[in-house]
Amino acid sequence: MISILSFLHFFAFLVYLFMAVFVLLKDPRASLNRVCACLIICFALWSFGYIFLNDFSYTENVVRFAMNIGSVGWVLFASFFLWLTLIFTEKNKILKSKVFYPIIFILPVFLIYKQWSSASLIATYIRQPYGWSYLYSESILHNIFFVWHCLLSLIALYLCIDYNMKTKDPTRKMLAKLIYFSVIPVLILGTINSVILQELKIHSIPILTDIYIFAWLFSIVYAINKYKFLTITSSIAAETVIASMADSLVMIDPVGNIIATNQAALNLTGYRRDEIVGKFAGMIFGEEDAFKKTILTDLLAAGSISGYETLWRTKTGIPVPVLISSSVIKDKLGVIGGIVIIVHDISNRKKSEKALEEAYDKLREMQDHFVQVEKLNAVGQLASGVAHEVRNPLAIVIQGVDYLESKIPHTKTDLYEALNMIKNSVRRASAIINSLLDFSKATTLNLQPEYITFMLENSLGLVKINLERGNVEVVKDIKLNLPKVILDKNKIEQVFVNILLNAIQAMPKGGKIIIRGYVKQLDDIKIGIGRRGSDIFRLGEKAIKVEFEDTGTGISEENLKKIFDPFFTTKAQNGGTGLGLSVTKNIIDMHKGLIDVESKPGKGTKVIVTLKIAEEKSI
């Protein structure tokens, strides 16, 4: 009798060890198998202690030592059982929680330590005819242990029952049933045998709790054989692959309703599974019509599509660029059962492409700038050379005309008129040369932080006589305390003078020029203002605006497009060279600013110059 009990525990010990290895080998990488193996090892340790407990040939010290080793098993098993149940019932949120593991392991480890160091759970061992029995200590710790053990076991049991009721998968439903049906008798018998009877000091019945656990073990073996529990099957492998794949996967029925998704799809869209399953898949496609056409019409006709680029829409409405591959699932009779869509998030690739595009734009802009500078340099060199060669003959022509004028009788008005035309032409040729030289000079800037208000006053001073002669009134609406602008004083003065002279010339009968100066936040995307690296101003950036609004003749829509073109002029008869506004635009471009012209024929023209505000550090 004595040796049989001891042998029975030894046998159980070996079976548990074997089962732990067996379960691990079934799927060594699955956490379910690993935790299950740990639980079985707890039972093995438990049995190991009882081998010595049920044989009175061992001394009390040996039994105490063996039972202390066994205590690792019977103290820790409830924690591993709860852990296993949580994995089985897919309580992933709890399992991912950082506090879960300390909660289930700190107290048992402390109890094991107290048992080893001061016998706080089992205090003494008493001889019995079949071996040894034990008495629990008077310490509160053993009561805590009972409560802990019951609490964790009952929670695990509740989770199994709850899972059984909720899951629609018949196999898993059956597995849950097997677990709780086998655990309930083990828990009841084990608690009576090893706790209640010992508390009541009824020691005549040997403690066989580790043997009762065989019932649970048999259910596990049955589950492995019958339902491939803890075993890798092709469907489990497929499920695991789908669940762990980085790409999103969505299965839809032939009318476009979502049947299932993997976690990656939920992560990408931000929806919960219950918010998306059963809904029309168009809700997650950025363009619902494109989804209907591409997936529901083209795909169903073609059977599969791959590498189709489209947009997905997250729960918050953010579009995500994706690449989708999709194929139709058909049963053996060829009836379409559904559609599988694999979605690859390409937003990072798009970002890289955008960055590359911006860098390219910037490079192109720089190249254009250098080409422009080179062009201006070439024009400059040519202009300098030409200027000298042309001015000399012009000097002779003008002096010659002056001489002829002095020699022709005043009555010869037709000759005077002809000479006057020659003179005007010489003046115009001279003006063209000067403008060409101006044009070529606009290649380098001498930048300093300056107040735009002073620049405007200086420029108005330079055109004072023209304003008076032209009977033009100036109205200034310039905000106080405008920040400084980094600019080349002479060049910007040239710009303002050019604009003012144009305005004066546009009002042959006199009129009004309104000059406004203010700071404005640039909120509208337009040429030069935006989010691209090549944009001169970032959207939302603050800039200084200077407006010159006249009440002149205005510019036709057709001419408005050409006003910055070199040599475009409507004032050739009056000595216009068509280079003034070209030079003006060049200068503003070099300042990384913008110049815009708005005009309505007959009503007037508004020229708006936008310049960058000087940063604090540069002032």
Query: Which residues of the chain form contacts with another protein (CB under 8 A)?
Result: 384, 387-400, 402-403, 406-407, 423, 426, 430, 434, 437
Find the shortest distance in angstroms from Cβ 485 to another protein: 25
Q: Which is nearer to another protein, 86 or 433 (CB)?
A: 433
User: Residue 203's Cα: distance from chain center in Å?
Assistant: 67
Find the shortest distance in angstroms from Cβ 587 to another protein: 18
Q: Which is nearer to another protein, 355 or 395 (CB)?
A: 395
Find the shortest distance in angstroms from Cβ 434 to another protein: 8
| Residues constituting the chain | 619
The span from the CA of 521 to the CA of 339, in Å, is 50
409 phi and psi, to 5 degrees? Answer: -60, 150
Q: Which is nearer to another protein, 96 or 407 (CB)?
A: 407
The set of residues, in sequence order, having a beta carbon less than 8 Å from that of 402 and lying 6+ positions away, is: none
The tokens for 592 are: 């990384």
Find the shortest distance in angstroms from Cβ 428 to another protein: 11
Q: Which is nearer to another protein, 280 or 416 (CB)?
A: 416
The span from the CA of 334 to the CA of 300, in Å, is 12
Q: Which is nearer to another protein, 430 or 553 (CB)?
A: 430
Q: Which is nearer to another protein, 197 or 397 (CB)?
A: 397
Find the shortest distance in angstroms from Cβ 525 to another protein: 42
Q: Which is nearer to another protein, 384 or 453 (CB)?
A: 384
Contact call for residues 264 and 249 (beta carbons, < 8 A): yes
Contact call for residues 49 and 21 (beta carbons, < 8 A): no
The set of residues, in sequence order, having a beta carbon less than 8 Å from that of 452 and lying 6+ positions away, is: 482, 484, 485, 517, 544, 546, 611
∠ Cα 241 243 245 (to 5°): 60
Q: Which is nearer to another protein, 233 or 399 (CB)?
A: 399
User: Residue 122's Cα: distance from chain center in Å?
Assistant: 58
Contact call for residues 205 and 128 (beta carbons, < 8 A): no
Find the shortest distance in angstroms from Cβ 401 to another protein: 9
Find the shortest distance in angstroms from Cβ 388 to another protein: 4
Q: Which is nearer to another protein, 350 or 423 (CB)?
A: 423
Question: What are the b/e assignments for 313-326, b being 16+ CB within 10 Å?
Answer: beeeeeebbbbbeb
Find the shortest distance in angstroms from Cβ 531 to another protein: 43
The span from the CA of 462 to the CA of 497, in Å, is 7
Q: Which is nearer to another protein, 272 or 388 (CB)?
A: 388
The span from the CA of 562 to the CA of 542, in Å, is 29
Question: Which residue's structure tokens are 């720089």?
Answer: 366
Find the shortest distance in angstroms from Cβ 426 to another protein: 6
Find the shortest distance in angstroms from Cβ 437 to another protein: 7
The span from the CA of 17 to the CA of 28, in Å, is 15
Question: Which residue's structure tokens are 């299932």?
Answer: 260
∠ Cα 384 385 391 (to 5°): 85
Sheet containing 472-478: give its strands across: 472-478, 511-521, 542-550, 604-612, 594-600
Find the shortest distance in angstroms from Cβ 459 to another protein: 20
Question: Which residue's structure tokens are 């399992």?
Answer: 95
Find the shortest distance in angstroms from Cβ 565 to another protein: 25
Question: What are the b/e assignments for 160-169, b being 16+ CB within 10 Å?
Answer: bbebbeebee
Strand partners of residue 310 = 322
Contact call for residues 324 and 308 (beta carbons, < 8 A): yes
Q: Which is nearer to another protein, 298 or 389 (CB)?
A: 389
Which ranges constitute the DSSP H helices of 471-561? 489-505, 557-560
Q: Which is nearer to another protein, 156 or 426 (CB)?
A: 426
